[in-house]
Structure 1
Amino acid sequence: MNISRITRLSIYAAFISMAALPISTIAQPANDKNVRMVVPLAAGSTVDAVARSIAPGLARATGHQFIVENLAGAGGIPGTTQLVKAAPDGLTIGMISSNHVINPGIYKHVPYDTLKDITPIVVVATVPLVLVVNPKVPAKDVKELLAYAKANPGKLNYGSAGNGSTLHLAGELLVNQTGIDIKHVPYRGTGQLVIDLLSGEVQMGFVSISQVMSHVKAGSLRALALSTTKRSTALPDLPTLAEAGVPKYDFDAWIAVVGPAGLPKESVDNYATAIRTAMDSPEAKNVISGQGLMVLNIGPKEATAFFQSELDKHQKLVKQSGATLD
């Protein structure tokens, strides 16, 4: 075998070995370093569950270990602050929620720009909310609920996870579109809210499917409708609010993966591909199904417009609600 043939075979073998490398090995030279996945919400939250479910798949796809870091509090602002201040080297990304586009309206000071200081990568899923009532409420469907609320203005109250939370804004949108007079009762999180829904301390509220599924099946809470325009596979017989009598109603929470501003396009595209692969893993599918999520996979090209649209929509609702936190 002559030298030129040996050289050609060596080059060919090198290309084959490069093709077999994980996605980010070629794009990012520091392959021996861990990647921080900042989750600006508490451990055990829906966002945290999704982050932890895709971390093993991301490790397999990229060759990096992904360390989920929960930095909760103040609507996710402290955690997001650390994310946006990180170097755009691909070694820090974050998984955020709709709170990101709500916070500018309810906090007087947010130390970063909601849009300019992040690099959108993928909007991975929506979190449908379910409108539930305590069984003592004389309403078996949305039309009966609206009729009762209009006949008894100010008598019903609805609970939420706090002023300006997605659950609060979901209720505010219902008020806006139906003209009913119901009182808002803010809680600090959903734990006590669900307890008080069960006892009848509050009569109604919007809650994520995973938090009330068992109570709905047991009959201790009555589910009337979903907040999204599409039905959920978790509750396939439950109509949407649009189907149930509020034709323009459409509200959901969502989960997205972002990086700090200036993240190179190559890293963004590689992460988008890796995230889609990780979302297909058995561990991720189990969590997605268990949480009642709807997969979106809005990629980098569409994600920027999505964030702008969601910011506009949520700021309008926040202003309407009058919610402030500092």
Structure 2
Amino acid sequence: MQVLSTSLRMGVVALCVGASAIASAAPADPVKDYPNKPVRFIAPFAPGAGTDTTARAIAQKLSDMWGQQVIVDNRTGAAGAIGVDITAKAQPDGYTICLISASHSVNSATNPNLPYDLTRDLQGITQATSLFYAVYHHPTVPVKSIKELIAYAKANPGKLNFGSSGTGSLQHFAGEMFNHMAGIRIVHVPYKGSAAVIPAMLANEVQVGFGTLFGVRPHMEAKRLNVLAITAAKRSPAAPELPTVSEAGLAGYVVDQWYGIITSVKVPKPIVQKLHAAIAEVLKSPDVVKRFAADGSTPVGTKPEEFDKHIRSEIAKWQKLVKDAGLKLH
């Protein structure tokens, strides 16, 4: 009996040791433990660009919050498509995210040769910011309102030019949508980047522009350029004296240079929700709000499904413009 009792005790001990070993070997919960290593935050444009500075502001706050590095990785090229493609093909574990802009919805609407589908291969985490454009002009154009600009352009077809940061850019489409909705023809002149447009206007190479108030305001205050309206859906606290284009004479006209954060469509929803909760908290922090306000941006923080819906609606809007206006881009 004693031998049996001893054997029984040894068996129980062995079972306990085995169970303990199995428990310790069980894999960690990837959602509960997220993030337990550095997160790669792709910015698909060059250092210093709006997407880059926005990504860095968010990444720093996330690093502080999580105690894990969030590393901004500038993967430029192909109008921002390379960085998005890397994100679509990355290991779908939530450790690769990407900041996109409204320009990516334009690309998806106009370029059938993209290596990814923005609505099928990727999923939204949140819209991070909203940024309106200002509609501005050279002082030699004798107008003081959107209605007067439209009337002048109708009376002088092809006489006015508008500058943009490049063919197929959001600035280009902002101008073409203005043309189409107003029934006018202001000629598009593309430049290599938005930084080149204002000097071109100061030299009177172009007479109309669509750009950030942050970039235009110094010239507006110095009376070198005149701002007529903003492209937002409603007036902005940053410039309450400026009407929207819609209220100033072109009903329904809205252009938003938004930024948002995406990841692979295969990333589990619980991890996406965890990312959204953290980023939404970052976007509410006073120093981030102040930092974005300096650029004229407003933090947003929509839910993942809301951002997905917004991306789809933006792509549809630009596809409709290309078709209805008969735009030739390639």
TM-score band (shorter)?
0.7 to 0.9
Deviations 1:65-122 (A, max 9, x none): 1111111222101111111111111111011011222113433410011111112110
Partner in structure 2 of residue 186 of structure 1 = 190
Deviations 1:225-276 (A, max 9, x none): 1111111222121110011111121121211111112111111111111111
Residue 202 of structure 1: CA displacement? 0.4
Residue 28 of structure 1: CA displacement? 5.2
Preserved contact between residue 126 and residue 295 of structure 1 (Cα < 8 Å): yes
The one-letter amino acid of 2:327's match is G
**Distance in structure 2 (CA, Å) of the matches to 1:46 and 1:52:** 10
2:258 alignment partner, SS class: strand
Preserved contact between residue 196 and residue 202 of structure 1 (Cα < 8 Å): yes
Partner in structure 2 of residue 324 of structure 1 = 329
Partner in structure 2 of residue 288 of structure 1 = 292
Partner in structure 1 of residue 235 of structure 2 = 231
1:35 aligns with 2:46: no
Partner in structure 2 of residue 220 of structure 1 = 224
Structure 1 pair 238–321 and aligned structure 2 pair: CA distance change class (3 A)? farther
1:190-269 counterparts in 2 under 5 A? 190-269=194-273
1:297 alignment partner, SS class: coil
User: Among residues 100, 104, 111, which one is paired with 1:96 in the alignment?
Assistant: 100
Structure 2: gaps (5+ residues): 1-28
Residue 301 of structure 1: CA displacement? 2.5
The one-letter amino acid of 1:240's match is T
Preserved contact between residue 284 and residue 299 of structure 2 (Cα < 8 Å): no
Deviations 1:189-227 (A, max 9, x none): 111111111221100110112221211122211100111
Residue 29 of structure 1: CA displacement? 3.5
1:69 aligns with 2:73: yes
Partner in structure 1 of residue 64 of structure 2 = 60
**Distance in structure 2 (CA, Å) of the matches to 1:303 and 1:32:** 26
Partner in structure 2 of residue 122 of structure 1 = 126
CA RMSD of aligned residues (A): 1.7
Q: What is the TM-score normalised by the length of structure 1?
A: 0.87
Preserved contact between residue 130 and residue 223 of structure 1 (Cα < 8 Å): yes
Structure 1 pair 293–323 and aligned structure 2 pair: CA distance change class (3 A)? farther
Partner in structure 2 of residue 172 of structure 1 = 176
Residue 126 of structure 1: CA displacement? 1.5
Structure 1: gaps (5+ residues): 1-24
Structure 1 pair 323–284 and aligned structure 2 pair: CA distance change class (3 A)? farther
Residue 288 of structure 1: CA displacement? 1.2
1:37-52 counterparts in 2 under 5 A? 37-52=41-56
Preserved contact between residue 94 and residue 259 of structure 1 (Cα < 8 Å): yes
Q: Which structure has the larger Rg?
A: 2
Moved more, 151-160 or 100-109: 100-109
The one-letter amino acid of 1:83's match is T
User: Among residues 155, 158, 162, which one is paired with 1:158 in the alignment?
Assistant: 162
Preserved contact between residue 214 and residue 295 of structure 2 (Cα < 8 Å): yes
Structure 1 pair 318–208 and aligned structure 2 pair: CA distance change class (3 A)? farther
User: Among residues 131, 134, 140, which one is paired with 2:135 in the alignment?
Assistant: 131
Preserved contact between residue 43 and residue 51 of structure 2 (Cα < 8 Å): yes
**Distance in structure 2 (CA, Å) of the matches to 1:26 and 1:85:** 19
Structure 1 pair 283–53 and aligned structure 2 pair: CA distance change class (3 A)? farther
Partner in structure 2 of residue 86 of structure 1 = 90
The one-letter amino acid of 1:288's match is F
Partner in structure 1 of residue 4 of structure 2 = none
Partner in structure 1 of residue 315 of structure 2 = 311
Aligned length: 301
**Distance in structure 2 (CA, Å) of the matches to 1:125 and 1:217:** 26
Identity of aligned residues (%): 39
User: Among residues 140, 148, 153, which one is paired with 1:149 in the alignment?
Assistant: 153
**Distance in structure 2 (CA, Å) of the matches to 1:142 and 1:297:** 32
Preserved contact between residue 119 and residue 259 of structure 1 (Cα < 8 Å): yes
**Distance in structure 1 (CA, Å) of the matches to 2:47 and 2:213:** 18
Preserved contact between residue 164 and residue 171 of structure 2 (Cα < 8 Å): yes
Deviations 1:18-75 (A, max 9, x none): xxxxxxx982536442111001112212221211111121123333211111112221
Structure 1 pair 255–232 and aligned structure 2 pair: CA distance change class (3 A)? same
1:232 alignment partner, SS class: coil
Preserved contact between residue 164 and residue 318 of structure 1 (Cα < 8 Å): no
Preserved contact between residue 108 and residue 118 of structure 2 (Cα < 8 Å): yes
